[in-house]
Amino acid sequence: MTTLKSSGSNINNKIICLRPESDFEEFGEVAPSHFNVIYLSPNDRSLIRKASNASVLLIPAVGPKISNDIFSKTSLKMVQVTGAGIDRLDQDFCARNNIKVCNVLGASAKSVAEYCIFAALTISRRLSKTTDEILSGNYKELRGNIIQDRMFSLSGLTLGVIGFGSIGQETAKMFSALGCQIQYYDPSDPKVAENLSQIAVKNGKEDLLRTSDIISIHVPLIDQTKNLISMQEFSLMKKTSILLNASRGGVVDEHALSQAIQDKKIKGAAIDVFTSEPPEKNNPLLNLPDEFRDSIILTPHIGGITVQSWSELFSRSWINIQRFFDGEELENRQI
């Protein structure tokens, strides 16, 4: 429960929130009582009218693009994202118009890292269809096939992390605890946590792709990361490798991935995020031939969603909005 004191500052304390109030209630992180929060759906026709004299927009990280009109026709001056990605916003527009944009970093790092462990194991141990197969009476054949395919455990494998920020580093820690070697690629030369600095080895992108057994992507979606993993990258990877993308759709070229799986250029992939969400029916990853169904896990952008991560995302968002009202330095200001 977030309890904050009213600052008595002059900034209008009106907040437009594009996620339902019930989300905050369910996680025990309701808005401080001195905040004036209007909860609206993103396509509410009265949004601009109701936001005309509001100061803060509170949004989930995932959802449709936010129209620039919401800012040009209102007095909104700060956006707080209850998550990491800020790709719903026109970032150049926000920068030009002095709209402060903040996210909450690190709160879902453990959840995404756990998801990556689950996903890597599900593919490497071929667990994605076992329940359905047993229910349809294929126990013996299934067991024989799995044994014949020689499953790997994670111990001794090399994890390559692309994007070594808060989630990339948490993922590295968890895989390392299970006996994996860790290498990473991140052009920004990030600060590496003390307990990782001895075990995580920095590498170039191509060499990382060539030498990793599991490749986990944790970059933001920006111009430089669109189709970061495409045909050329798949051609470098080990044929036994597993790709994990719980960052953003568009970072991995979906056509190239579908082709790489069918050409057996990699062993498989776990995909939590899609170019459009929900994915279109004709998305190539939804239309792989049956024989490749074991090679892919598709999940509906839930890598970072657990009770623990949402509670933290919500409480830290309210606290940061209070900082804005108080004129204090903001946490995780991205713009």
Per annotation, catalytic residue among 125, 255, 301, 333: 301
Residue (32 or 168) nearer to ligand NAD, CB: 168
According to CB under 6 A, which one of 118, 220, 236, 238 is a site residue for ligand NAD? 220
> Residue 181 is encoded by which pair of tokens?
């070697």
Catalytic choice (19, 248, 316, 323)? 248
Smallest distance, Å, CB 194 to ligand NAD?
17
- Establish if 60 lies at the interface with ligand NAD (CB under 6 A): no
Stretch binding ligand NAD (CB under 6 A), from 8-16, 45-53, 214-222, 290-298: 214-222
247 in contact with ligand NAD (CB under 6 A):
yes
Work out whether 168 is an interface residue with ligand NAD (CB under 6 A): yes
Please say whether the beta carbons of 216 and 247 come within 8 A.
no
The active-site residue, picked from 114, 133, 277, 331, is 277
Among 56, 246, 285, 297, interactor with ligand NAD by CB under 6 A: 246
- The pair of three-digit structure tokens given for residue 320, joined into one six-digit string: 């940061």
Q: Is 250 in the site for ligand NAD (CB under 6 A)?
A: no
What's the Rg (C-alpha) of the chain? 22
Is residue 277 flagged as an active site residue?
yes
Can 114 be counted among the known catalytic residues?
no
Binds ligand NAD by CB under 6 A, chosen from 74, 166, 315, 317 = 166
Q: Quick one: which segment of 150-158, 259-267, 296-304, 323-331 binds ligand NAD (CB under 6 A)?
A: 296-304
Residues 146-165 that bind ligand NAD (CB under 6 A): 162-165
Span 185-204, contacts to ligand NAD by CB under 6 A: 185-188, 190
Minimum separation from the CB atom of position 42 to ligand NAD (A)? 18
How far is it, in rounded angstroms, from Cα 192 to Cα 210? 23
Q: What is the spatial distance between Cα 32 and Cα 73, in angstroms, rounded to a whole number?
A: 27
Q: Does the active-site annotation cover 255?
A: no
Dist. CA 70–CA 47, nearest whole Å: 8
112 in contact with ligand NAD (CB under 6 A):
yes
Cis peptide before 60 (omega within 30 of 0): no
| Backbone region of residue 156 per phi and psi (left: phi > 0; alpha: psi in -120 to 50; beta: other values) | left
Residue among 84, 252, 257, 285 that touches ligand NAD (CB under 6 A): 84
Q: Which member of 213, 233, 272, 312 binds ligand NAD (CB under 6 A)?
A: 272
Q: Which residues pair with 202 in a beta bridge?
A: 184
Applying CB under 6 A, the span of 93-101, 173-181, 244-252, 254-262 interacting with ligand NAD comes to 244-252
CB distance 276 to 249 below 8 Å: yes
CB 253 within 8 A of CB 230: yes
For ligand NAD, the binding residue among 19, 173, 218, 267 (CB under 6 A) is 218
Query: What count of residues does the chain have?
Result: 335
Q: Does 108 bind ligand NAD (CB under 6 A)?
A: yes
What residue ranges bind ligand NAD (CB under 6 A)?
83-85, 105, 108, 112, 162-168, 185-188, 190, 218-221, 224-225, 228, 246-248, 272-273, 301, 303-305
Which residues are identified as catalytic? 248, 277, 301
